[in-house]
Amino acid sequence: MPDRYPPRPADRFLRWAAGAALGLLALFVAQPYLTGLLFSADTARAITARGDLAPAETATVELFARASPSVVHVFVQAAAQGRALMGVDNEGGESGGGSQTGTGFIWDAAGHIVTNNHVVAAAAQGGGTIAVRLSSGAVVSASLVGATPSYDLAVIRLGRTTAALQPLAIGTSADLKVGQSVFAIGNPFGLDHTLTTGVISALQRRLPTSAGRELSGVIQTDAAINPGNSGGPLLDSAGRLIGVNTAIFSPSGASAGIGFAIPVDVVNRVVPELIRNGRTRNPGIGIIAGQEATAARLGIDGVVVLRVLRGSPAASAGLQGVDPQTGEIGDIIVGAGDRPVHRLADLTAAMEAAGLGTSIDLTVERDGRTRRIRVTTTDVAESRL
């Protein structure tokens, strides 16, 4: 008997749509299982050919390969004072306690290593021990040759070693440009031979040292520098030494993108003197300068002579300090040679340029009048004034 009510087109569409929806739902539910079954990589993947490194990458790789054998890890243990000699206060970093670690680099084939003074200060002050781990992994004892807090530099010398020493190539800091690439190699947090990269962020920065002086011409970089990097090399793109990493500016104590390096031209002048004499001779005239912050608050542009040391070249030249009875300001040094003097760093830079035993003309303000005074520099570190 024929169907009295054949399906209408709308009913057929609804049935088709419902079937399609059920099919899609089934596929959706089964999709993870089907994907896992069909596409699982349960055997080793084929290696995709990479091609050559980019030229910049190749240059960095080659730079690290050349320079890293010259970089060493420095360990300093202060003399034991009621504590275990091998105890570690701050492994992989820098501390003011009984142990200290940092970075250094090979200066010459005789085994001289350059690092920061603050890295080896614990050994220098208390007769502690120094050990150096070379890039080969060998640990060698070392002795202190000389140190200068005024420049935060120190030289140590390796004991007997059978390894061939590879001195680091030396560059110059006289022609550096802001923006050029730099590379730091060191041991941050005890992690040996770590390479970080960046640019020169600024030049001619000033950095105070523990000796109460200021280093001028300091290099600022954004290459990551952390505790343990101190004393390590800052290199240019040719792999030459252009600075010694010495400090960071960071509220947290870790890298914040502001690191500082002693310029290599200073290093290349100071280190040979440390090797020859164990110390540096610091040209001076025998004055104690007033605080720069106080001078700035008084609107003074120059170096206030706080006190003149007895028997010094400054005393012989007639310089006058602050009157201890009335507090009246005596001399203000506003020039040295042909250079203006705004801060103590300007005066020390002029004296260093002049050298020891050299006469230098100072421009001095006293009682509102300006006069010229000639004074001869002397070794203020050696004098007994």
pLDDT digits (tens, 9 = 90+) for 231-245: 999 999 999 999 999
Whether the pLDDT of residue 278 is over 90: the answer is: no
In the structure, what pLDDT confidence band is assigned to residue 206 with cuts at 50, 70 and 90? confident
Identified catalytic residue from 99, 112, 118, 150: 118
Cβ-based neighbour number of residue 59 at 10 Å: 15
Res 89: pLDDT: 37
Domain segments of the chain: what residues? 62-158, 181-277, 283-379
- Structure confidence by residue, pLDDT tens digits, 285-323: 888 888 777 888 888 888 888 888 888 888 888 888 888
pTM value is 0.72
User: How far is it, in rounded angstroms, from Cα 189 to Cα 273?
Assistant: 31
Q: State whether residue 151 is helix, strand or coil.
A: coil
102's enclosing H/E stretch is: strand 99-106
Query: Which of the following is catalytic: 68, 112, 150, 152?
Result: 152
Q: What is the average pLDDT across 80-98?
A: 43
Check pLDDT > 50 for residue 10.
yes
Q: Are strands 378-379 and 332-336 parallel, antiparallel or unpaired?
A: unpaired
Which is the CATH superfamily of the domain at 62-158? Trypsin-like serine proteases (2.40.10.10)
| Token reading at 372 | 């010229």
Assigned fold of 283-379? Pdz3 Domain (2.30.42)
CA nearest neighbour of 266 among 170, 382, 381: 170
175 counts as catalytic: no
Q: What is the mean pLDDT of the chain?
A: 83
Q: Which two tokens stand for residue 328?
A: 């009246």
Q: Are 342 and 336 in contact (CB under 8 A)?
A: no
Asked if the model's pLDDT at residue 366 lies above 70, the reply is: yes
Q: Which two tokens stand for residue 108?
A: 């010459």
Residue 383 annotated as catalytic: no
Q: What pLDDT sits at residue 383?
A: 44
For residues 39 and 277, what is the distance between their CA atoms, to the nearest angstrom? 72
Residue 256 pLDDT level (bands cut at 50, 70, 90): low
- 62-158 shares its CATH topology with 181-277: yes
Which residue is catalytic, options 230, 236, 255, 331? 230
Cα–Cα distance between 341 and 14 in angstroms, integer?
A: 94
Distance separating alpha carbons of residues 132 and 130, to the nearest angstrom: 7
Q: What CATH code is assigned to 181-277? A: 2.40.10.10
Residue spans of alpha helices (H) in 199-289: 264-277
Alpha-carbon distance of 266 to 13, in angstroms, equals: 89
CB atoms within 10 A of CB 345: 19
255 is catalytic: no
